[in-house]
Amino acid sequence: MVAPASDATTTKWFVRRISLRRVPPIFMTMSVIVVGLIVFLAIFGSLIEPNDPFQQDLLDTSAPPSPEHWLGTDPLGRDILSRIIAGADSAIIGPFIVAFTGLLAGSGFGILSGYMGGTADMVIQRLVDFMFALPGLLIAIVIVGVVGGGYWLAVLVLSILNVAGGVRLIRGAALEQRALPYVEAARTLGVPRWRIMYLHIWRNISPIVFANAALDFALALVALSSLSYLGLGSQPGEAEWGRMLSENQSLLFSNPAGVLAPALAIVFFATSVTIIGDWIYDRFSYGGRTGR
């Protein structure tokens, strides 16, 4: 692939892409509430589930909403609301692992590549170019499907495929920092290279790193639920929002709330995390001066 834009432009382009700029405060508040609620459900969900999310009731399948089952039951008679609550932890853990891997590997290789330059930079960049050109979700569909599926395999594949974007972004940011006076000053004072890279530079670009991790989290949530929707990510029986959508799709016209509620859970969670990531970037990057 030709990499036509200069690195500085690429960085700006990416940063703009992930940056909303001036999120209306009400959205920010709502996003924090949504994320807080889902984290709460993931931790304490088993205490407040109205019914057992895994208990099948073949005499009460595909039931419409009722006082007993607020969102009705799925085609195997399981309580949909309880399953949404039970699905909160797989909506957090997998995306978190993907985002965290991206954060570590992205910071590690990105700063190394941007600051050191030379052969290391060249090797890392060729690898990144290659991985960046791969259609991530499509590859995940094929690998997870052929090897035989499973939530953790999906998380692993997505973690690896996700690294390239972070490396490219953080390398660009580190490249911009390298030219700044504080780095030169630190070098003159004889600060070791690894300290300059991972303490000085990292701290200055950390808003970009965290904003990118938030975006990765949202994308991983969408990708994992897409795999589950196709029947590839989580296994049958597991409570996972994407899988619930495909299992309950036949209810779309009789009990739409039962199908659209897990879909809304994914949408709200992904949107909220994206908005929070944008807010982090706007608030903290370059001392908050770039906000427009």
Partner 1 sequence: MLPESPPQEATPAEGAAERKRRRWLARYVARRLLILIPLVFLVSVAAFTLTHAAPGGPIATLLENAPTSPEQIEAIKEKYKLGDPLPVQYWDWISGVAQGDFGRSILTNETVLNEITSRLWVTLSLNIAGIALAILVGVPLGVLAALRRGRFLDRALVTISVFFMSTPVFALGLFALYLFGFRAGLFPLFGPGEGLVDRIHHLALPAIVLGLAGMGFTMRLTRAAMLEQFDMDYVAFARARGLGSFHVTSRYAFRNALIPVTTAAGLLFTGLLTGSVLVETVFGLPGLGTLLVSAVTGGDFTMVQGLLLFIAAWIILVNIAVDVLYVFIDPRVEFDKARG
Based on the shown chain and the rule CB under 8 A, indicate whether residue 137 belongs to the binding site for partner 1. Answer: yes
In sequence order, the 6+-apart residues with CB closer than 8 A to the CB of 58 are: 76, 77
Contact 49, 41 (CB under 8 A): no
* 125 near partner 1, judged by CB under 8 A: no
The residue among 41 and 259 lying less far from partner 1, judged by its C-beta, is 259
Residue 8 touching partner 1 (CB under 8 A): no
Would you count residue 9 as binding partner 1 (CB under 8 A)?
A: yes
Which tokens sit at 78? 């399981």
DSSP sequence for the chain: ----S-HHHHHHHHHHHH---S--HHHHHHHHHHHHHHHHHHHHHHHH-SS-TT---TTSTTPPP-SSSTT-B-TTS-BHHHHHHHTHHHHHHHHHHHHHHHHHHHHHHHHHHHHH-HHHHHHHHHHHHHHHHS-HHHHHHHHHHHHT--HHHHHHHHHHHHHHHHHHHHHHHHHHHHTSHHHHHHHHTT--HHHIIIIIIHHHHHHHHHHHHHHHHHHHHHHHHHHHHTT-SSPTT---HHHHHHHHGGGTTT-HHHHHHHHHHHHHHHHHHHHHHHHHHHHHGGGGT---
Residue 218 within binding range of partner 1, rule CB under 8 A:
yes
Residue appearing with tokens 């039931």: 63
Give the shortest CB-242-to-partner 1 separation in angstroms: 7
Nearer to partner 1, 66 or 249 (CB): 249
User: x/- contact string, 243-272, with partner 1 (CB under 8 A)?
Assistant: --xx--x--xx--x--xx--xx-xx--xx-
Q: Which is nearer to partner 1, 186 or 230 (CB)?
A: 230
User: Least distance from C-beta 291 to partner 1, angstroms?
Assistant: 10
- Minimum Å gap between C-beta 192 and partner 1 is 33
CA dihedral for 232, 256, 65, 270, sign (positive or negative) = positive
273-292 residues in contact with partner 1 (CB under 8 A) are 273-275, 292
Residues numbered 149 to 208 that lie near partner 1 (CB under 8 A) are none
Pick one of 97, 116, 143, 153: the residue that binds partner 1 (CB under 8 A).
143
Binding mask 21-60 for partner 1 (x = CB under 8 A): xx-x--x---------------------------------
- CB nearer partner 1, residue 3 or residue 43: 3
**Candidate residues 141, 163, 208, 214; the one interacting with partner 1 per rule CB under 8 A:** 141
Q: State the Cα–Cα distance between residues 13 and 17, nearest whole angstrom.
A: 6
Instruction: Tell me which of 50, 117, 135, 288 binds partner 1, using CB under 8 A.
Output: 135
Q: Return residues touching partner 1 (CB under 8 A).
A: 1-5, 9, 12-13, 16-17, 19-22, 24, 27, 133, 135-138, 141-143, 145-148, 218, 222, 225-226, 229-232, 242, 245-246, 249, 252-253, 256, 259-260, 263-264, 266-267, 270-271, 273-275, 292
